[in-house]
C-alpha cells in the first residue's frame, strides 16, 4: 500500500517539477502509477464518481474511470493538468502518439514524447473496446482538441461545453433543489400556522390590534429565518461560513441601511410600547388624523380631509405625540358674552340646565360655567363640558351646545349684546354743538 501511494505522489510532483526534456523518466513514473492501479480490481470510489471528464481548453474530450486507490476525479485532474501544461508551452503544435508498455497490457498516450496518460485493461472493459482501439480513439480526440481551432469554432465549442456543464450541474443539483423546495414549502406552511397561532394568542391575551400584528409578524419572520438556514444547509452552503465571509460586507451594508434598520427597530418599539393604537386620532409633528396602519417601517396616518400620510417610524419614535382618543371623553368649551346688567348667577344656571339636558354631553363630570373675562361691553362666560373624544362627535356636540346656549339665553331674556364703541368727535361746528359739551360731541355706535 505504501509503495502504491509513493508512486502516485512521485508522479504528481514530477508533473510540476521535472521539465519536459526528461520524458523517459516521466513516462516511467506515469506507467508505474497506472500499472499499480490496474493490478487490482476497482472498488467503489469514495466521492461516488466512477467517471470524470478530461478537459482540453476547457472542453470535455472524453471520460476516464476510477482505478484502485485513484479516484476518477483525481486521475482526470492529473491528465488535464498535464495537457494544460503542454499547451502552455507548445500552443497546440504537438504530435500525439500511442506507445505500448513492454510486457504489460498497458498503452501510454504520449505528446512530444511526454506521457499524458496510460490506458489500462480496466478502461477497455469500461468502454467495451479493445485496449488498442480505445487508446487510438483517445489519442485522436486529444490531438483534435489540442489543435487550435478558428475563433468562431472555438467560441461555439466553449459555449457548448459551458451549456453541457451547466446541464450536468443542474442534473446533479436536482436532489438538492427538490430538498430546498420541500423545505421552503414546509417553512411557508409552518410560518402561516405560527403567525395564525400567535395572532390568536395575542387576541386572547393582549386585546390590542397593534400588538397582535407585531407578535404575528415576529413569529412569521422567525420561522422564515430558521427555514432559510435549513434550506441553505440542504443546498450545501454552510451558514456559519457564509456569515464569516459576509463579515466585512455586512458592516458596509449596515452603514448603508442604517436609516432602514432604525425605522424597523423603532417600529418594533412603537408596537411594543403602544403610545397609540390603530384607529386612534393623534397629532404627530403637526400632522393630525387617524392611525390606519402601524408597520415595521412606517406609520400610516389619515388626515381629517382624507389624505394619507406615511411617517417613518424613526420620526414617530422621536416626536412628541398627542393622542386625542387615549381617553373616551375630552373637555370642550364655549365662550358666551352677556350684558353687564344681566344676572350672572341666573345666566349660569340657565346655561347649565340647557346643556345638561343634552344626551351628547356627559353628566360626569358635570358641566360648569365660569366668569372668564369682563370685556368692554360684555361679561364673558366660559362654558365647559365633556363630550366624546372622537373628532366627529367632538365637533358636532360642541356646535350643538353653542346653539342650545344661545337659544336658552334668548328664551330667558338675557341679552347677549354685540360690541359697543364710543366715538369722541373734536372741532364740531357750532350749529351741531349741543349745550354743555365744550366744543365736543360724542356718539355711541352699536356694532350690528
30-39 pLDDT, tens digit each: 444 444 344 4
**Cα dihedral across residues 382, 387, 391, 396: positive or negative:** negative
Q: Is the pLDDT of residue 167 over 60?
A: yes
Tell me what pLDDT residue 282 has: 92
Task: Quote the CA–CA distance of 441 and 321 in Å, as a whole number.
Answer: 58
Identify the CA nearest to 53 among candidates 118, 138, 131, 110: 138
Q: Is the pLDDT of residue 210 over 70?
A: no
Give the pLDDT mean for 393-420: 88
Residues 6+ apart with CB under 8 A from 415: 338, 339, 341, 342
Q: Is the pLDDT of residue 277 over 90?
A: no
Q: Which long-range contacts (CB under 8 A, 24 or more apart) does 76-79 make?
A: 76/52, 77/52, 78/11, 78/12, 78/15, 78/117, 79/54, 79/116, 79/117
Task: State the Cα angle at 62 between 52 and 39, rounded to 5°.
Answer: 60
Tell me what pLDDT residue 56 has: 83
3-state class of 47 per DSSP? coil
DSSP code, position 58: T
CB-count exposure of residue 130 (10 Å: 0-12, 13-18, 19+): exposed
Q: Is the pLDDT of residue 381 over 50?
A: yes
- The proportion of the chain whose per-residue pLDDT surpasses 70, expressed as a percent, equals 75
Least confident of 10-24, 40-54, 89-103, 126-140: 10-24
Give the pLDDT mean for 212-220: 75
Q: Is the pLDDT of residue 12 over 50?
A: no
Task: Quote the CA–CA distance of 49 and 37 in Å, as a whole number.
Answer: 17
What is the grid cell recorded at 6? 509513493
Q: What is the pTM of this model?
A: 0.47
Q: What are the distances in angstroms from CA 161 to CA 58, 157, 378?
A: 8, 6, 100
Residues 6+ apart with CB under 8 A from 121: 38, 105, 106, 131
Give the pLDDT mean for 355-361: 90
Tell me what pLDDT residue 55 has: 84
Tell me what pLDDT residue 31 has: 46
Give the pLDDT mean for 266-271: 80
Q: Is the pLDDT of residue 104 over 80?
A: yes
Q: Is the pLDDT of residue 126 over 80?
A: yes
Q: Considering only residues 59 and 102, tell me which one the structure prediction assigns the higher pLDDT.
A: 102
Tell me what pLDDT residue 194 has: 85
Across the chain, what does the average pLDDT equal? 78
Tell me what pLDDT residue 307 has: 92
Q: Is the pLDDT of residue 362 over 60?
A: yes
Tell me what pLDDT residue 271 has: 75
Q: Is the pLDDT of residue 92 over 70?
A: no
Q: Is the pLDDT of residue 402 over 90?
A: yes
Q: Is the pLDDT of residue 283 over 90?
A: yes
CB-count exposure of residue 189 (10 Å: 0-12, 13-18, 19+): exposed
Query: Could you give the domains of the chain?
Result: 2-169 (no CATH), 175-256 (1.10.287), 263-323 (2.30.30.60), 329-411 (3.30.70.100), 419-448 (no CATH)
Q: Is the pLDDT of residue 150 over 80?
A: no
Tell me what pLDDT residue 247 has: 62
Residues 6+ apart with CB under 8 A from 409: 336, 338, 347, 350, 351, 416
- Give the Cβ contact number of residue 168 at 10 Å: 12
Task: Quote the CA–CA distance of 161 and 169 in Å, as a whole number.
Answer: 12
Amino acid at each position: 500500500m505504501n509503495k502504491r501511494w509513493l508512486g502516485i505522489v512521485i508522479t504528481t510532483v514530477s508533473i510540476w517539477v521535472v521539465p519536459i526534456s526528461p520524458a523517459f523518466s516521466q513516462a516511467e513514473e506515469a506507467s508505474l502509477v497506472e500499472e499499480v492501479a490496474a493490478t487490482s480490481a476497482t472498488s467503489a470510489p469514495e466521492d461516488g464518481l466512477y467517471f470524470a471528464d478530461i478537459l482540453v481548453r476547457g472542453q470535455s474530450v472524453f471520460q476516464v474511470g476510477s482505478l484502485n486507490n485513484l479516484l476518477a476525479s483525481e486521475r482526470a485532474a492529473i491528465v488535464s493538468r498535464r495537457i494544460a501544461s503542454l499547451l502552455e508551452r507548445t500552443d497546440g503544435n504537438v504530435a500525439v502518439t500511442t506507445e505500448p508498455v513492454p510486457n504489460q497490457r498497458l498503452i501510454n498516450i504520449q505528446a512530444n514524447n511526454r506521457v499524458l496518460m496510460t490506458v489500462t485493461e480496466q478502461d477497455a472493459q469500461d468502454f467495451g473496446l479493445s485496449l488498442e482501439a480505445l487508446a487510438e480513439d483517445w489519442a485522436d480526440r486529444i490531438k483534435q482538441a489540442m489543435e487550435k481551432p478558428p475563433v468562431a469554432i472555438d467560441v461555439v465549442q466553449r459555449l457548448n461545453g459551458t451549456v453541457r456543464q451547466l446541464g450536468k450541474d443542474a442534473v446533479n443539483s436536482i436532489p438538492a433543489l427538490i430538498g430546498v423546495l420541500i423545505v421552503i414549502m414546509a417553512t411557508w406552511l409552518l410560518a402561516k400556522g405560527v403567525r395564525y397561532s400567535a395572532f390568536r394568542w395575542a387576541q386572547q391575551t393582549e386585546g390590542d390590534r397593534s400588538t397582535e400584528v407585531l407578535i404575528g409578524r415576529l413569529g412569521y419572520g422567525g420561522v422564515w429565518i430558521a427555514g432559510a438556514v435549513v434550506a441553505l444547509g440542504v443546498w450545501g452552503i454552510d451558514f456559519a461560513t457564509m456569515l464569516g465571509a459576509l463579515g466585512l460586507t455586512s458592516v458596509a451594508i449596515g452603514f448603508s441601511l442604517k436609516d432602514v434598520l432604525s425605522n424597523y427597530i423603532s417600529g418594533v418599539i412603537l408596537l411594543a410600547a403602544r403610545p397609540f393604537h390603530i384607529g386612534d386620532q393623534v397629532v404627530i409633528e403637526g400632522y393630525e388624523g387617524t392611525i390606519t396602519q402601524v408597520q415595521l417601517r412606517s406609520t400610516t396616518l389619515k388626515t381629517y380631509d382624507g389624505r394619507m400620510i406615511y411617517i417613518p417610524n424613526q420620526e414617530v419614535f422621536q416626536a412628541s405625540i398627542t393622542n386625542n382618543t387615549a381617553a373616551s371623553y375630552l373637555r370642550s368649551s364655549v365662550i358666551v358674552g352677556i350684558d353687564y346688567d344681566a344676572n350672572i348667577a341666573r345666566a349660569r344656571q340657565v346655561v347649565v340646565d340647557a346643556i345638561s339636558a343634552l344626551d351628547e354631553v356627559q353628566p360626569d363630570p358635570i358641566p360648569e360655567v365660569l366668569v372668564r373675562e369682563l370685556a368692554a361691553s360684555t361679561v364673558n362666560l366660559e362654558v365647559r363640558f365633556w363630550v366624546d373624544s372622537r373628532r366627529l362627535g367632538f365637533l358636532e356636540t360642541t356646535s350643538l351646545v353653542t346653539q342650545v346656549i344661545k337659544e336658552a339665553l334668548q328664551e330667558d331674556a338675557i341679552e347677549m349684546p354685540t360690541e359697543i364703541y364710543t366715538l369722541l368727535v373734536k372741532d364740531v361746528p357750532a350749529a351741531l354743538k349741543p349745550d354743555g359739551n365744550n366744543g365736543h360731541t360724542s356718539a355711541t355706535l352699536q356694532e350690528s
